[in-house]
Structure formats: C-alpha cells, structure tokens
C-alpha cells in the first residue's frame, strides 16, 4: 500500500492579499503603507513590497517556452553565453597574439578595434584563429565599415570560411551625431545597402549596430535605453525595407549592444522585455519568426565605475554580469575594474574574464534556461518595463523615428537630462556609490594611478561634443573633489567633538566621518569629552581646520552656542544634524550643518573653497 502524500502546507489555511496587507498595516502602527513600503522607481512605475500569483494571472509572458516566439524566455534552448574580451593592443600583430592567448583561457568571443580595415590588417588580426570556435567582433569608424567588410569577405572566401564565421562589424552611423550632435553619416542608406550586399555570402555576420550601451553609459534610465534601442532597431528596419531590402535580411543583420547597470532585477527584466518587444516589432515589418530573434550583447556599466576604491567595481560588474546571464543574452563583456583611470592590464583583464567563468563553472548559471521565468516579481518587472519602454518607443515614432530624433538632438537631450538627475542623486546620496559618496577609504590617494588613455583619431572620438551624450561617470564629480584635495598643499583636518548622549554622538560622528571623508579630509574621531572647552582645546591642539559638534538635538541648544563662542573663529564650526533649534543656532552665527538632506557634493565643494591652499 502506497503512502498517501498531502500537499505541502495543506494544513495551513490560505491567506488572502487583503489579510497580508492588514497585518502589515497593523505592524506599521498607523504609518501609511504606500509611503513606507511602495517604491517609486526611476523607470516611471511603482513597485509593491510583495507579489502573488494573482498579480501575474492575466500576463501572457508565461505562455511560451524558451526558444519560442516572442522569445521573452530566450532565443535559445540553453542558457550558455559567449564570454567576450575586448582586445587592446597597439598593432594588429600584437592584437592577434593576445587573442590567441586569451582563447586558450576560456574566451570564445573577441572584440577587435580596427583602424583602417585593410586586407593586411584583417589577415594580421585573424591569423591562426579558429573562426568556427570563436566569435569575432570588429569595431571601427563608420566610414571604414564598408572597406572592412569587403576585405573581411575576401579573407573568408580565400580561407573557405564564409559559412564558419560568426560575429559582427559594429557599423554605427549614428555614433558621431550621438556623441557630438549634428548630422549623420552622409549617404547612410546607400552605404548600408552596399554593406549588406557585400556580406550577403556570410550568413552569420551581423553589421547593423544598435549601440544602446552608449545611452546606458551616459546615464540613461533603464526604460530609456530599452525604448531608444527599440526605436533604433526599427529605424534600421524602416530605412532598409524602404530601400528594397528584404525584412528578414535586415532583421538577421541587426545586433543590439546593450549596457547593464547594477539594478539587478530591473536589468534582468529589461533583457526579457527587449526580446519580447523586438520580436513583435520585427514581425510587423514582415520578418518571419525565426528572423525576429533578437541578438544581444551586454556590456557591464562604465557609468557607475569609480577611480577611488576601484575594487568595488568588481562587485558592481559581478551583479551586472549575473543580471545579463540570467536574462539569457548571447554574449557578455565584463569591463575591467581599472578601466576608468588606465588601460586595463593583464591582471584586471584576467579578473574580468574570471568573473564570467565563475558564474558558469561554479554557479552553473549556463545550465538553466530563463531561471527567473514565472517569478511574480520578475514577471511584473518585465511587463512594467516593457510598458514604459513601449510608451517611449511610440513617442519617438510619432516624432518621425529614431533618426529624426537623433538629428534633432532630442535623444541626446533626454539622456543628458537623466544623467544630470542621476548626478544630482549621487550628490545627495540618493544613489549610492560605495567607496565614493558613502563609506570612502579616507586615506586612499588616486592621482598617481591615473594615466592618460589615447582616444580614437577619427571623428568618432570618445569625447562628447556640444549637443552630444555626456561621458562623465556618476562618480566623476566626487573624484574631482578628492583629486583637488590631493593636489592641495594642505590636507584639511576634521575633528569630531563628541559630547553628551552616547548613542547620538557616536552615530553623528560616524555620519560626519563618512560625509567629510568623501572629500578626502583627514578625520580625527574621539571617544567623548566632558565639556565643549575640553573638546575645542583638543581640536586646536591637533591643528583641526574643521570642528564638528556631535551630540543630540536636545543638547545642541546649549552646547552648540558654547562651543561656537569658545572656538571664536579659530576653525570652521559644524553641527552634525538638523535640530529643531537650527534657526536659533543660525541666529547665533552658526551657518554650517551636515545632515541627510544635504547636497553632500555642493557642501564639500564649499569647504574646499574655504580650506584648500594651492
């Protein structure tokens, strides 16, 4: 007789959403649920603290299987991806030698930066590489793309490798206008049609780039990158089908090169939404379902990389790589942690490679297709991001399409505004960069490790022009502040005058240490003083430039005026906090307060202007 098995938790009565919410509201003790627990995202929608099966009951996103149209669950029946490394070298021969080395270490996708696109350069780059085993991706000036394609096809024909080759030429005629503003590449459509004819004999060579990673690295929000990427892809479809090119041929030649930020679940959902929306867009142009598969390469973010505490970049890029891997992209580049301040060396490139291998070989993320599929939270995020991106896509189409919006500077303007908003959020610590605007390593210096990196000599230089996308990273403003401190002849000393309530003085001293540490000042903390006179005397004995009073709000009413008067202008005086008696203290002449509502960057810039000597 077989033992009867009862369903798990069958002895527990079902709990409704209303009952869960009632319990939460009771625990909140009158605090508003929507203000305390509902999160308003930068993507334009709100997120609940909890999701249940009923929340996705009406979704159709769970109806298909991996490899099935509209590919929300992936374009493949496995979750393997290609691990790509960008090859940095001075000559084609050096690049080839480096490529041959890294493919023996697990890399199966290579990125080459091409200068001329000559046959000699192509031969030197590809010498002895197994073109069947390794994906080859070329980046070049758009003006060189046709020449490169012609010589690449010549090389492949000469080596009977046309059907073996798989990879891409990053033909991006939008690049100059996006980076510098102004006009597009002349004769773009005619050049693109010729490019497609040239590569017709190499079926797995993608040549139409959608480089939305440019937008991501400029500070675009996730829905913006996706919305503009879709519009960019649709622009290729419109321009070329209108020119008489078959929709299937166009769709199969497009490659999406997308960024991935540290917003873990949101980025995972973005790629799922991207495949779903792109499949439906391509189908509307007449492409068959197989041609509607979106080819996606993901690159970890440069926007959130930092110069100070640079090894934290490894933590950021690891979660970013995980997002892309779990989302089922085709290939991934992990940007080395030292890329913001120098040309990556062998060590940082090896670590970047190993970050991907760790996710494959130790975490086995390549073994399960769409592991997030069916998650109430991820499915909700996927649909929500898809809706916001679709709104932007439609708005761009109504304005004449992506090409028209780029030429008008509207795309650059919108992304720049988002970048400015994110910089402000970093300045106010609404967006945290560990080691930069929160918990800095106050004794670290960085000026000595920053080396100049050569830029491209063509019109597609990485530097932004007027009306182009910004190139500053989120940490750039804070880094400039600290570098200014390093360059000064004096390093300001900040003394924590801790007194009164033990818990409050410790908490505020810690807050103030982090606050002033963001400028690279020397911090002198203390266990506490019996009187403000003792504290001020100790501060002056240490040569303090700034004295920060750390106590409780109740005690500030008497302690702050006493300390301020006794200090008598011999150092800058700061109160840690925003006490109810602030106006009273300001009337006494105290002007500096540091608290959670401060713009940290602007406050520290003001102190730099007062304290630094050059």
Q: CA-to-CA distance for 336 and 352, rounded, in angstroms?
A: 5
Task: Quote the crossing angle between the two packed helices 264-284 and 376-398, to the nearest 10°.
Answer: 50
CA distance 526 to 260: 42
CA distance 147 to 194: 11
Mean pLDDT across the stretch 218-231?
98
The full length of the chain comes to 614
Does residue 255 contact residue 109 with C-beta atoms inside 8 Å? no
Separation in Å, CA 427 to CA 436, 567, 600: 10, 30, 6
List, for residues 88-98, the tens digit of each pLDDT value: 999 999 999 99
CB distance 178 to 410 below 8 Å: no
The span from the CA of 86 to the CA of 210, in Å, is: 18
Mean pLDDT of the chain: 95
Q: Which helix or strand (DSSP H or E) is residue 576 part of?
A: strand 572-576
Spatial distance between the Cα atoms of 194 and 463, rounded to a whole number of angstroms:
29
Q: Quick one: average pLDDT of 550-579?
A: 97
DSSP secondary structure letters along 430-476: SS--BTTTBS--TT---GGG----PPPSSTT-SS--TTS-----TTH
Q: Of 493, 494, 497, give the one whose Cα is nearest residue 563.
A: 497
Percentage above 90 pLDDT, the chain: 90
User: What distances in angstroms separate CA 154 from CA 113, 195, 202, 409, one per listed residue?
Assistant: 19, 14, 11, 38
**How many other CB atoms are there within 10 angstroms of residue 539's CB atom?**
27
Strands 135-139, 167-171: parallel, antiparallel or unpaired by DSSP?
Answer: parallel
pLDDT at 459: 46
Give the pLDDT score at 163.
97
Which is nearest to 434 in space by CA: 298, 327, 319?
Answer: 319
411 sits in which H/E element: helix 410-427
Q: How confident is the model at residue 613 (pLDDT cuts 50, 70, 90)?
A: confident
CB 291 within 8 A of CB 247: yes
Q: At what angle do helices 553-567 and 532-541 cross, to 10 degrees?
A: 50
Q: In terms of DSSP bridges, do strands 39-40 and 46-47 run parallel, antiparallel, or are they unpaired?
A: antiparallel
- Residue 495, C-beta contacts closer than 8 angstroms, at least 6 positions apart: 524, 526, 538, 539, 542, 544, 546, 547, 548, 571
Average pLDDT over residues 133-151: 97
Q: How confident is the model over 477-525, as pLDDT tens digits?
A: 999 999 999 999 999 999 999 999 999 999 999 999 999 999 999 999 9
The whole-number average pLDDT for the span 31-43 is 92
Cβ contacts of residue 57 below 8 Å, gap of 6+?
none
Indicate whether 146 pLDDT > 70.
yes
- Alpha helix (H) ranges present in 243-327? 247-252, 264-284, 312-327
The pLDDT assigned to 356 comes to: 97
Burial of 367 (0-12, 13-18, 19+ CB in 10 A): exposed
pLDDT at 10 over 90: no
What does the pLDDT look like over 422-479, one tens digit per residue?
999 999 999 999 999 999 999 999 999 999 664 444 545 555 557 899 999 999 999 9
**What does the alpha-carbon distance between residue 427 and residue 407 come to, in Å, rounded to a whole number?**
31
Q: Which residues contact 306 (CB under 8 A, 6 or more apart)?
A: 312, 313, 340, 433, 435, 436, 473, 475, 479
Distances (CA, A) of 407 to 44, 189, 217, 412: 26, 15, 20, 9
Which DSSP string do the residues of 51-112 spell out, in sequence order? --GGGGTT-STTSS-TTSTT-TT-SSSS---EEEEEE--SSHHHHHHHHHHHHTTT--EEEE
Q: Are 135 and 84 in contact (CB under 8 A)?
A: yes
For the residues 564-571, what does the mean pLDDT come to? 97
């Amino acid at each position: 007789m077989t033992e009867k098995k009862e369903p798990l938790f069958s002895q527990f009565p079902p709990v409704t959403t209303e009952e869960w919410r009632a319990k939460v509201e009771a625990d909140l003790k009158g605090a508003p649920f929507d203000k305390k627990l509902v999160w308003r995202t930068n993507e334009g929608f709100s997120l609940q603290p909890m999701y249940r099966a009923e929340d996705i009951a009406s979704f159709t996103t769970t109806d298909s299987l991996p490899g099935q149209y509209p590919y929300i669950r992936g374009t493949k029946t496995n979750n393997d991806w290609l691990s790509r490394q960008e090859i940095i070298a001075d000559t084609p021969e050096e690049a080839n030698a480096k490529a041959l080395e890294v493919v023996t270490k697990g890399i199966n996708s290579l990125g080459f930066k091409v200068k001329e696109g000559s046959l000699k350069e192509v031969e030197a780059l590809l010498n002895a590489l197994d073109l069947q085993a390794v994906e080859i991706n070329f980046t070049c000036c758009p003006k060189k793309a046709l020449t490169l394609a012609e010589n690449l096809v010549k090389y492949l024909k000469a080596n009977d490798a046309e059907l073996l080759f798989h990879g891409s030429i990053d033909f991006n005629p939008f690049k100059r206008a996006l980076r510098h503003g102004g006009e597009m590449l002349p004769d773009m459509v005619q050049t693109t049609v010729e490019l497609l004819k040239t590569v017709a004999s190499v079926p797995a060579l993608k040549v139409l780039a959608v480089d939305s990673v440019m937008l991501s690295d400029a500070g675009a929000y996730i829905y913006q990158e996706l919305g503009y990427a879709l519009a960019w892809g649709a622009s290729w479809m419109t321009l070329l089908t209108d020119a008489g090119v078959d929709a299937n041929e166009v769709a199969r030649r497009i490659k999406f090169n997308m960024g991935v930020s540290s917003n873990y679940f949101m980025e995972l959902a973005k790629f799922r939404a991207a495949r779903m929306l792109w499949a439906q867009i391509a189908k509307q142009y007449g492409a068959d379902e197989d041609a509607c598969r979106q080819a996606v390469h993901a690159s970890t973010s440069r926007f959130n990389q930092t110069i100070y505490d640079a090894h934290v970049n490894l933590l950021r890029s690891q979660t970013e790589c995980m997002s892309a891997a779990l989302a089922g992209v085709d290939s991934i580049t992990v940007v080395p942690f030292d890329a913001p301040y120098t040309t990556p060396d062998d060590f940082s490139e090896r670590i970047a490679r190993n970050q991907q291998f760790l996710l494959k070989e130790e975490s086995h993320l390549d073994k399960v297709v769409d592991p997030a599929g069916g998650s109430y939270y991820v499915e909700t995020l996927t649909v929500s991001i898809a809706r916001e991106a679709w709104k932007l896509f439609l708005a761009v189409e109504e304005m004449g399409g992506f090409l028209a919006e780029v030429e008008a500077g509207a795309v650059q303007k919108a992304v720049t505004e988002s970048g400015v908003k994110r910089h402000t959020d970093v300045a106010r610590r609404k967006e945290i960069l560990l080691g930069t605007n929160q918990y800095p390593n106050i004794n670290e210096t960085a000026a000595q490790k920053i080396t100049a990196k050569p830029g491209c000599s063509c019109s597609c230089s990485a530097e932004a022009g007027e009306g182009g996308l910004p190139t500053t990273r989120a940490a750039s403003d804070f880094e400039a502040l600290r570098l200014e401190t390093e360059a000064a002849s004096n390093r300001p000393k900040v003394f924590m005058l801790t007194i009164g309530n033990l818990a409050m003085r410790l908490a505020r001293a810690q807050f103030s240490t982090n606050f002033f540490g963001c400028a690279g000042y020397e911090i002198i903390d203390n266990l506490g003083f019996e009187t403000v006179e003792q504290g001020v005397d100790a501060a002056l004995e240490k040569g303090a430039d700034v004295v920060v009073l750390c106590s409780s709000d109740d005690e500030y009413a008497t302690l702050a005026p006493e300390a301020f008067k006794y200090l008598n202008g011999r150092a800058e005086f700061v109160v840690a906090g925003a006490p109810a008696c602030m106006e009273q203290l300001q009337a006494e002449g105290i002007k500096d307060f540091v608290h959670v509502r401060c713009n940290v960057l602007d406050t520290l810039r003001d102190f730099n202007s007062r304290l630094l000597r050059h």
